[in-house]
Amino acid sequence: MAPPTKRRTGHSKKAQFSAFTGYLVAALGVLIGAGLLALSAWKPESMSSLRAEATDLAMPAGRAGAEVRSDSQGLIQAIAGYFDAGNKNARLKREMEEARVHLAEAKAIETENHRLKALLGLRNEEVKPIAFARLIGSSSASTRRFAYLSAGSSQGVQPGMPVRSPLGLVGRVLEVGDASARVMLLTDTASMVPVRRNTDNIVAFAEGRADGTLRLRLINLGINPLKKGDIFVTSGAGGIFRPGIAVAMVEKVTHDGAMALPLANPAATIHVAIDPVWVPQAAEIAAQPAPGGPQ
């Protein structure tokens, strides 16, 4: 292809000046970009209101897309359901038998729990979610793992609040607009959640690795007691997440902890609940930028 001749401005002063100004502004753009990037690294929250406004404006399109996504998933599941109806029926019957047994066991544990809690003088409080919302999108081209949520400050959502699905913890709210919010997913590289093993009190930090897995780092180093299949739940340390929300399952044991898969896979999650910050005093700390760098 022949080279474009538009670069030559000829003798026209006007054309020369406009070409010159174009390059000048482009160079300014480089400087402005570098400056804003440095500002974002220094004060990550400085642009959050601008981002929240923009997401608010673009929200209707995202919400329509999320609806299509949940509808189409339902349709595919309905069609797939016809293909293994017989197998499924038998399996469900067996599972129901097992579930009955488990239910009886759970009732026993519940009564015991009640008795022990009464013994300790603890109140039995139920955490009511602040809002229910959809995940409508995510930063799928970036190495950071953020998701957009279809609820904002008008529904009572505040920065720092835990976001969970019925299967477990999804992340926590980072920035809030009027009708939208940005969620830092568990798998983000700056996300760090204090967790413990559900059967005992082995505590660890669950760090995101940006590829859909978590890295569990044990706090007490020594002989690694973890096994594949161990379930980790939030420990309540730090005061943001209430104790006992399911987080991850160990996939591979390493020398100082394990690689784990989050139980609530955000890709398969459509509806999420936003819980209040567990210890209200932690809300101020939670409102501060995420540890580990810019957002």
Q: Which residue, among 219, 214, 227, has the nearest Cα to 202 in the 3D structure?
A: 219
* Residue in the structure block whose two tokens are 């016809």: 82
Contact pick of 84, 211, 256, 284 for another protein (by CB under 8 A)? 211
The verdict on 143 binding another protein (CB under 8 A) reads yes
d(CA 262, CA 32): 39
Any contact of residue 39 with another protein (CB under 8 A)? yes
Q: Per-residue x/- mask for another protein, residues 226 to 255, rule CB under 8 A?
A: ------------------------------
* Binding of another protein by 144 (CB under 8 A): yes
23: contact with another protein by CB under 8 A: yes
Q: How many residues in the shown chain lie near another protein by CB under 8 A?
A: 70
Q: Does 37 bind another protein (CB under 8 A)?
A: yes
Tokens representing 216?
A: 């569990």
> DSSP characters for 265-289?
-GGG--EEEEPPPSSTTHHHHHTSP
Q: Is 166 in the site for another protein (CB under 8 A)?
A: no
Identify the three-state secondary structure at position 179.
coil
Q: Which stretch binds another protein (CB under 8 A): 90-98, 107-115, 208-216, 273-281?
A: 208-216
| Alpha-carbon span 201 to 221, nearest angstrom | 14
Contact pattern from residue 57 through residue 96 relative to another protein, giving x for each residue in contact according to CB under 8 A and a dash for the rest: -x--xx--xx-xx---------------------------
Asked if 120 is part of the footprint of another protein (rule: CB under 8 A), the reply reads no
Q: Which amino acid is at 234?
A: T
Q: Which of 25, 104, 106, 219 binds another protein (CB under 8 A)?
A: 25
Instruction: Choose the stretch contacting another protein; rule: CB under 8 A; options: 86-94, 113-121, 217-225, 259-267.
Output: 259-267
Q: Strands 231-234 and 246-254, how do they pair?
A: antiparallel
| CA–CA distance, 79 with 82 (Å, rounded to integer) | 6
Is residue 234 within 8 Å of 243, Cβ to Cβ? yes
Q: Is 6 in the site for another protein (CB under 8 A)?
A: yes
Reading phi first (left if > 0) and then psi (alpha if -120 to 50, else beta), residue 212 is in: left
Yes or no: say if 157 and 173 are a contact pair by the CB < 8 Å rule. yes
Decide whether 234 or 269 has the Cβ nearer to another protein: 269
Q: x/- site string to another protein, residues 173 to 202, per CB under 8 A?
A: --------------xxxx------------
Q: How far is CA 209 from CA 60, 190, 223, 262, in A?
A: 31, 9, 24, 11
State the residues that interact with another protein by CB under 8 A.
1-4, 6-7, 22-23, 25-30, 32-41, 44, 46-47, 50-51, 54-55, 58, 61-62, 65-66, 68-69, 135-148, 187-190, 207-212, 265-267, 269, 292-295
